[in-house]
Amino acid sequence: MTELTPNSYRTRWAGDLRESDVDSPVPVTVSGWVHRRRDHGGLVFVDLRDRSGLVQLVFHPEEAAEAHGVAHALRSEDVVTATGVLVRRGEGQVNTDAPTGAVELSVTKLVLISSAETPPFPVDEDGHVDELIRLKNRAVDIRRPALSRALRLRHEVTRAIRHVLDTAGFTDVETPVLTRSTPEGARDFLVPARTSPGEFFALPQSPQLFKQLLMVGGIERYYQIARCFRDEDLRADRQPEFTQMDLEMSFVEEDDVLEITERVLTHVFEVAGLQVNPAPWARMTHAESMSRFGNDRPDTRFGLELADVGQALGATEFKVFRGALDSGGVVWGLNAGNVEVPRSELDALTDLAKRHGAGGLVWAFVEADGGWRSPVGKFLSDDERAGVIAALSASEGDLMLLVADSQATAGAALSAVRIDLGQRRGLVPDGLHHALWVTDFPMFEPDSNSGGWTALHHPFTAPSGDLGDPASLKSRAYDIILDGVEIGGGSIRIHDPETQAKVLEIIGMTAAESEERFGFLLRALRQGAPPHGGIALGVDRLVALCAGHDSIRDVIAFPKSASSQDPLTGAPGEVDPAQLKEIGLQRLPVDRVQRTPED
C-alpha cells in the first residue's frame, strides 16, 4: 500500500481498500476522478479512480438523498470527494478481476470539486486514438491506463538505475544545460545570450565533456539521469529532447564499464519483469555484426543470417552481379528457408530493399535438380547457381534473396529484409529478449562533405591502433543492443592530450581551432587526467522496450510529435518582436513548412 497522510480530501487511497477494511467504525474518505457512472434507477454506482486504482461507490437515495442527487448528475472525469462506510458487495456482485472487487463504499457525503467537459476520447479504455489528438490533450491522455502505467514504470526504471549506482559508490552530479556549441554529430539547439549580443549558448547533446572533466577532477565514479538535446532532421521515433543515464568511471578498462552496465540493466529488467538472457552478455565485433546481420545492432533472437556469395560469382557475366563486384562491392544473400511466398510478397520485399538504397532484390527458389526458379536463373551457369546454393546452405524449396551493391547498402537492404521476414513469419518467440554487446568499431569513417574523416562515435573516444592509418584504426567503443535496438553506447576515452589533439587533427581541425573549441578539455587533460571511460543508456528507448511500446512517445509525459512540434503548447512559436530586439536578433522571412505528426 502507498503511504498516505490523511486529510479532508482522503483518508485512504481508493485502490488500497480491501475486505479486511469492512466494518471499520471510522468513515472512509476518497478523492479522484469519475471513471464510470451507472444509474440503475434508484441506485447510482460510480467507479472512482485515483493513482492507486479504482473503487466502486454506491449511492442509496433513501440513505443519503443529497449525495445521491449529486451523483445522479456526475459525468465522466468529474473530480469528486466521497465519504462513507466501506461494505462488502452483495452475493453475485463481486468483481474477481479487480483488487477492490469485493467491497464498495456506501457514500453518505459527496462533494463535486471540479466539473469536466466531455473528454476528447474515452479514458476508461486503451483503444486507438489519433496521436495528434492525444498529444493535444495530454493531461487527459495521461489518465489512460497504458500511459499512466508507462510513466510509473519509467519511475521504477530510473529508481532501479539509481539504486545500483548508489550502492556501487557513484556520485550523482548535475552538469550544465547552457554550454558551448561543439561538433557531436547533430546540430545544436542554440540559445541567444542577452548579455553578450551576437553570441550563443548551446543546449548539450550529451554531458560528454563535462563528465570527462569530472574524472580529471577526481570524482572517479559519476552518474546522472541527464536531459540531452539534438536538433536532428525528421526521423521516426526520435525526440529533440531526450533522457539518458550517463555514467563515467576512472582507472577502468572496457570490462569494468561493461560489468557495471550489466548490473544496472539486469536490475532494471528484473524490476520491469522483462525476461532477458542472463549476463554476462556475449560480445560481437562490429565487423562480425555487419557481415552476419548487415547492421551494427543485430537482433540475434532468430536466424536468417547474411552470407557473402561473391566468391561463388567471381567469374559471372550477369551484369548486375558483375557490376557490383567490379566496383568493389559485394553480392550478399540470405536463406529465407523452405517457404512458399507469393509474388506480391516478393515484390514488397523488393520495394523494401529499394527503400534502403539497393537497386533491387534478386530472388530464387531452389529446385529439385539444383536449378533456380527465378527471373535471373538463366543468366547464371550451373556452377554459379550451385556455388550460391552452397554458400547459403540452401536445399530444395528454400527461398534465396540476394543484393548486389556496396557493402554498406547491401547490408542495410538485407538487414531490413531479414527483420521484415522475421516479423512476417513469427520467428521471434513471444517473451524472449536478447542482449549483447557490439565492440571494436572503426574509429573513423569517410566524411562525404569534406572528403576527409569523421569520428564514427565522437572524437573523444580512445583509438586502438596506429593513428597514422585512420582507415584501419579501431576504437575502444561499445554498444549495448537489446532485441536489435541500440539502448546505449560508450567508450574508453582519450586521456592523453597529444592523442586528443591528433584525433582532432585527423577530423580536420587545426591546432588553433582545437584550442578555440576544446581548449578547456585539452587544458584539463594536461593537468593530470586518469584513464577513464563510461556509457550512456537511452532511458526513453529502454523504458519503451520494457513497457512493450513501439514508440518512445508513449513513455514520455510530454513528448514532441515526430515532426518535432508540440501540439499541446503550440511550440515552437513566434515571440514578441521586443524579445528579439532585447537579444539582438532580427526575424527574416522564411518559408513556412506545414508538418504533421508521423509514426
Position 184 scores a pLDDT of: 55
Does residue 367 fall inside a structural domain?
yes
Average pLDDT over residues 325-333: 96
Average pLDDT over residues 207-226: 97
**Angle (CA) 205 272 161, round 5°:** 45
Q: What percent of the chain has pLDDT over 90?
A: 85
Q: Please give the tally of structural domains in the chain.
A: 3
Does residue 518 fall inside a structural domain?
yes
Same domain membership, residue 27 and residue 92: yes
Position 597 scores a pLDDT of: 44
Q: Tell me the pLDDT tens digit for each residue of 455-479.
A: 998 999 999 998 999 999 999 999 9
Q: Which SS3 state, helix, strand or coil, does residue 114 take?
A: strand
Same domain membership, residue 445 and residue 415: no
Average pLDDT over residues 32-58: 94
| Prediction pTM value | 0.91
Percentages of the chain per state (helix, strand, coil), in multiples of 5 = 30, 25, 45
For the cut 60, the answer to whether the pLDDT of residue 295 exceeds it is yes
Q: What is the separation of C-alpha 468 from the centre of its chain, rounded to a whole number of angstroms?
A: 37
Question: The CATH number of the domain where 403 resides is what?
Answer: 3.30.1360.30
Domain of residue 165, residue span: 146-282+434-552
According to DSSP H, which parts of 450-550 are helical? 497-506, 511-525, 539-547
For the cut 80, the answer to whether the pLDDT of residue 595 exceeds it is no
Same domain membership, residue 98 and residue 25: yes
Q: Tell me the pLDDT tens digit for each residue of 263-275.
A: 999 999 999 999 9
Among 309, 370, 366, smallest CA distance to 340 is for 366
- DSSP secondary-structure letter at 354? H
Does residue 565 fall inside a structural domain?
no
Does residue 569 fall inside a structural domain?
no
Position 183 scores a pLDDT of: 60
Position 591 scores a pLDDT of: 66
Mean pLDDT across the chain: 93
For the cut 90, the answer to whether the pLDDT of residue 594 exceeds it is no
Question: The CATH number of the domain where 22 resides is what?
Answer: 2.40.50.140
Q: Tell me the pLDDT tens digit for each residue of 351-403.
A: 999 999 999 999 999 999 889 999 999 999 999 999 999 999 999 999 999 99
Q: What percent of the chain has pLDDT over 70?
A: 97
Same domain membership, residue 401 and residue 450: no
Among 597, 594, 599, smallest CA distance to 567 is for 597
The amino acid at 97: D
User: Is the bond preceding 572 in cis, omega lying within 30 degrees of 0?
Assistant: yes
Structural domain ending residue among the three candidates 517, 537, 552 = 552
Cell representation of residue 64: 443519503
Question: pLDDT band at residue 598, thresholds of 50, 70 and 90?
Answer: very low
Question: pLDDT band at residue 599, thresholds of 50, 70 and 90?
Answer: very low
Same domain membership, residue 544 and residue 489: yes
Average pLDDT over residues 121-126: 88
Question: pLDDT band at residue 592, thresholds of 50, 70 and 90?
Answer: low
